Amino acid sequence: MSTLSVISQKGKKIEWIDKAIGSGTMKDVYFSPDKSYVVGFYRNKLDASSKDRLNSIVGVYKTKIIDGPNGDYWRNLLCWPYDIVEHNGLTGIVVPTYQRHFFFMHGSVNDDMLGIKGQEKNGKWFASAKNQNRFLHEKEKGDLLSYLRISILLSRALKRIHAAGLAHSDLSYNNVLIDPEGKNASIIDIDGLVVPGKFAPDVMGTPDFVAPEVIMTKHLPVNDSNRKLPTILTDRYALSVLIYMYLLFRHPLKGRKIHDTDPVKDEELSMGAKALFIEHPTDRSNKPNLNDVHPSELPYIDVDKMPYTILGPYLKELFDRAFIEGLHNPQKRPTSNEWEEALVKTVDLLQPCQNSKCSHKWFVFDNKLSPRCPYCGTPYTDALPVLNFYSSRGKGKFLSDNARLMVYNNQYLYRWHTNRLVHPNERLSDEDKKPAGYFVKHRGNWILVNQNLPELYDVTNKVDIPIGKHVVLDDNIQVLLEKGNGGRLAHVQMVNKR
Partner 1 sequence: MRRLPVYLLLDTSGSMAGEPIQAVNVGLQSLLSSLRSDPHALDTVYISIITFDKEVKVFLPLTELSEVQLEEVTCPKSGPTHMGEALEVVSEKVKNEVKLSSAEHKGDWMPLLFIMTDGKPSDLMKYKVMANKIKNENFGSIIACGAGPKAKEEYLKMITDNITMLDHMDSASFEAYFKWVSDIVNQGSKSAGVAEDLDLPPAPKEINIVI
Give 90's strand partners.
87
SS3 347: helix
Quickly list DSSP for 293-311: S-GGGTTTT-TTTS-GGGG
Q: List the interface residues with partner 1, window 145-164 (CB under 8 A).
A: none
Q: How many CA atoms lie within 13 A of 188 on its CB side?
A: 21
Q: Is 122 in the site for partner 1 (CB under 8 A)?
A: yes
Does 32 participate in binding partner 1 (rule CB under 8 A)? no
CB of 257 to partner 1, least distance (A): 9
Residue 234 contacts residue 167 (beta carbons within 8 Å): yes
Among residues 4, 6, 195, 203, which is the contact residue for partner 1, using CB under 8 A?
203
Which of 51, 75, 124, 441 contacts partner 1 by CB under 8 A? 124
Q: Give the separation between CA 344 and CA 339, rounded to whole angstroms.
A: 8
Task: Give Cα separations from 448 to 261, 362, 373, 415, 475 (angstroms).
Answer: 61, 22, 25, 14, 13
Q: Which listed range, 3-11, 55-63, 81-89, 287-295, lies at the site for partner 1 (CB under 8 A)?
A: 287-295
Q: How far apart are CA 15 and CA 32, in angstroms?
A: 5
- Contact status: 140 vs partner 1 (CB under 8 A): no
Nearer to partner 1, 229 or 276 (CB): 229
Q: How far is the CB of 471 from partner 1 (least distance, A)?
A: 49
In this structure, the dihedral spanned by the alpha carbons of residues 4, 5, 6 and 7, taken in order and rounded to 10 degrees, is: 170
Q: Interface with partner 1 includes 1 (CB under 8 A)? A: no
Q: Which letter does DSSP use for residue 217 in this model?
A: T
Which residue intervals of 357-414 are DSSP H helices? Answer: none
| 475 in contact with partner 1 (CB under 8 A) | no
Maximum distance among all Cα pairs of the chain, rounded to whole angstroms? 78
Give the 3-state secondary structure of residue 267: helix
Is 478 a binding residue for partner 1 by CB under 8 A? The answer is: no
Told to check if 64 binds partner 1 by CB under 8 A, we report no
Angle CA(224)–CA(201)–CA(42) in degrees, nearest 5?
Answer: 130
Q: Does residue 378 touch partner 1 according to CB under 8 A?
A: no
Cβ 90 to partner 1 shortest distance, Å: 13
Q: Cβ of residue 390: shortest distance to partner 1, in angstroms?
A: 45
d(CA 455, CA 466): 8
Site track 7-26 with partner 1 (rule: CB under 8 A), x = hit = ----------------xxx-
Instruction: Note whether 386 binds partner 1 by CB under 8 A.
Output: no
Please report whether residue 119 would count as binding partner 1 according to CB under 8 A. Answer: yes
Residue type, 54: L
- Give me the least distance between CB of 52 and partner 1, in Å please: 17
Rounded to 5°, the CA angle 216-220-226 comes to 75
List the interface residues with partner 1, window 235-274 (CB under 8 A): 254, 256, 258, 260-264, 266-267
- Please identify, among the stretches 77-85, 202-210, 382-390, 472-480, the one whose residues bind partner 1 according to the rule CB under 8 A: 202-210
Interface contacts to partner 1, rule CB under 8 A: 23-25, 43, 114-116, 119, 122, 124-125, 128, 130-131, 134-135, 170, 172, 174-175, 200-207, 210, 218-219, 222, 229, 254, 256, 258, 260-264, 266-267, 289, 292-294, 297
